[in-house]
Structure 1
């Protein structure tokens, strides 16, 4: 989880310099060969997003500048700042060059809880895990989900290829992760992309919640390494099944099993591997 204390206010965010040769078709480059051929390539966009709740600066994230309202909803829920997206009343996005300020209006209940969390962490300094309260943030008490059936194997067939086809930004520039939702009929319903793997899942969760889709009728897919933070986000959102294109960590599997989250790894050249629920002994 990103450090959430001592972040600059939105007005202090400075836009990075942009290259003069940035064009619609991409950035020029010279190949490191004797001929030094010149080419151009599109690159993934990246901005600093400063988030403030009811005027209180809370976090600065580096994100891709697409689907930002989905991101704010999903990030707020996944970080535990709100219990429901209904706690968010309004989001105002204000560009500052290549940076963006997000002013988020939340309910009094959510704002009080956020201030209480900041008070508990006020004694911590720096980034990373520091103190018992920070450890509570990294290893929180999360709800155990109701048991849910695994998706049909047919819905995972050819999924890697279908995911690649759905990633519009990745096809254009590369350098981004994706999180997708496959519905009960096995079709990709939503795809969200970002330079950050956590951000991509936040955007997907935000979109799912805002569109009031039934999360039990399908599963989420992440293209990145399946770390514990992604499990936290899935549990807080109530996602019953998470499919990862990269292998999970041991702690991730442990948490998924303890919290009834279906966790499936989709290897490149072998059958899907169900890590959670744990296989029954034969």
Structure 2
């Protein structure tokens, strides 16, 4: 069940307002201008005093990311096992000291690995093949969202991506509720980071992830399927075409998977028609 009591968070980090960065256009006119660029920093995650991961992230909704990462990486089984999060910033580096339950900490020590995160595939640093291709419980079947909830979705997404609108270079993960409205948006330089932030945001708000659907603006990689299944989403919509492997995993685990092309109707890959 979703957690109703928020996880205590100390020292939440707000992204500082950036001045524009000067540039010169590479043409005969050599026009000058200023651009706002996406911020990036290193985030070290420490569980009960043990360093676990270093990720490159956008420094917004950091606490949501920590919760979502902890759940989607199976460090904890539920948000109730996260007792406290303390976030600190030192220049371009962030640190999150996370207190988790004894059960989760024991399991973490048994399966501990050094994970070096990137804003790319999201699997870098995973040493064991079984961690890249984990055993996951299948979801209960769920109906597909109404087709009209996908109408003009790309345009609606662009209107709520506030960070990307100013700087670009950011992926988004969004939650569309049962009325078809975008009710939550999280952005990050990494597509898997954005989804973790969304997972954490939904959990902190006590939202039922099955009462709506999730949208990712990025390539639909296998790790996003892992996170969606572990978070018990009913439907994942991707703006980029899925790979054959992601389709097979979505079908095997009964995750509804929809691709929303630029200029044609939505394509339902899972369940099979």
TM-score (structure 1 length as normaliser): 0.86
Provide Cα deviations, 1:45-67, integer angstroms capped at 9, x if missing partner. 00100000000000000000000
Partner Cα distance (2:203, 2:169) in 1: 26
SS in 1 for 2:111: helix
Moved over 3 A (4+): 22-25, 127-130
- Answering whether residue 84 of structure 2 is matched by residue 75 of structure 1, we say no
Q: Which runs of 5+ in 1 are unaligned?
A: 1-21
> CA 1:227/1:89 → structure 2, altered by over 3 Å: closer, same or farther?
same
Q: CA deviation at 1:215?
A: 1.3
Q: CA deviation at 1:160?
A: 0.7
Aligned to 1:59, the other structure's residue is in SS state: strand
Bigger relative contact order (CA 8 A; separation at least 6)? 2
Post-superposition offset of 1:230: 0.1
Equivalence for 2:211: 217
Matches within 5 A, 1:153-192: 153-192=147-186
User: Displacement, 1:210?
Assistant: 1.1
Paired residue for 2:98?
104
How many corresponding residue pairs?
249
Larger Rg: 1
Instruction: State the alpha-carbon separation in 1 of the partners of residues 67 and 35 from structure 2.
Output: 32
Of 251, 257, 263, which residue of structure 2 is paired with 1:257?
251
Q: Deviations over 1:9-56 (max 9, x none)?
A: xxxxxxxxxxxxx98441001111233221110000001000000000
- SS of the equivalent of 1:154 reads helix
Q: Which residue of 1 aligns with 2:130?
A: 136
From the superposition, tell whether residues 202 and 24 of structure 1 become closer, same or farther in structure 2 (CA, over 3 Å): closer
Q: In the superposition, relative to structure 1, how do residues 37 and 192 fare at CA in structure 2: closer, same or farther (>3 Å)?
A: same
Structure 1 pair 219–91 and aligned structure 2 pair: CA distance change class (3 A): same
CA RMSD of aligned residues (A): 1.4
1:56 equivalent to 2:53? Answer no
Task: Tell me, in whole angstroms, the C-alpha distance in 1 between the residues paired with 2:126 and 2:153.
Answer: 36
Secondary structure in structure 2 of the residue aligned to 1:145: coil
Unmatched 5+ residue regions in structure 2? 1-15, 115-123
Q: Which residue of 2 aligns with 1:46?
A: 40
